[in-house]
Amino acid sequence: MSNKEVVGLGCALQVSEQGEVEIKGLVHGGPCHLSCKVGVGDVVESVDGTQVRGDVKLAKQLFLGDQDTGVTLGLKRDGASKSVHLLRGKPVENRANKEGETCGIGATLSTVKEGLAIGKIAPGSPAQLSGELQAMDVIVSINGVDVQGKSPQDAAILRVMIGLVGTRVSLTIIRGRGSRGQA
């Protein structure tokens, strides 16, 4: 590392019950959070090709580096492995998550025949940062549960659409132009 400031990826790590390094939490506005590709519970298998094999101390050392330097994480979620490329950096906002802090996807929803239509998407929201959702998309299921005929104010919808910061939500959508997709 050079004389630049040493920074990380904006996440907390822990050893899981299975002895694997997993993401324990995300720093709001940090590289992991803003990527929308790293979530609480993801297993860290490697950092820049180095296997971490349950070694949190090694993973933390490898997460650190000079500001704006690239790093590739080998992650596993639900048994599927993937690579995520990030730039090390400070959080965009200097605000720490409060324990138990909740958030939603950051979009206005209304009931339509097929499900829940997305109206406006808030700037900087998870919906916008994911790059996967657009105004006029229709959500047909949330975490595999059909939402046809439900209201955005329905208690069951609110329980899954508003959760702890860093919680993942799987949406099946119909694009405004009618094609199906996963977000």
pLDDT value for 178: 40
Beta-carbon neighbour count of residue 96 at 10 Å?
Answer: 11
- The per-residue DSSP string of 117-163 comes to EEEEE-TTSHHHHHS---TT-EEEEETTEE-TT--TT-HHHHHHHSE
pLDDT at residue 94, rounded to an integer: 47
Per-residue confidence (pLDDT) for residue 59, from 0 to 100 = 95
CA-based nearest residue to 77, from 41, 27, 48, 50: 41
Taking a C-beta distance cutoff of 8 angstroms, is the pair 75, 20 a contact? no
So what's the pLDDT on residue 99?
60
As given in the structure block, the two tokens for residue 135 are 């105004």
Question: Residue 164 and residue 167: Cα distance in Å, rounded?
Answer: 6
Helix, coil or strand: residue 116: strand
Amino acid identity for residue 50 in this structure: T
pLDDT reported for residue 89: 87
Q: What is the pLDDT of residues 90-130, one digit of tens each?
A: 877 544 555 655 567 888 888 898 888 888 887 667 777 77
Low-confidence ranges of the chain (pLDDT < 50): 94-95, 177-181
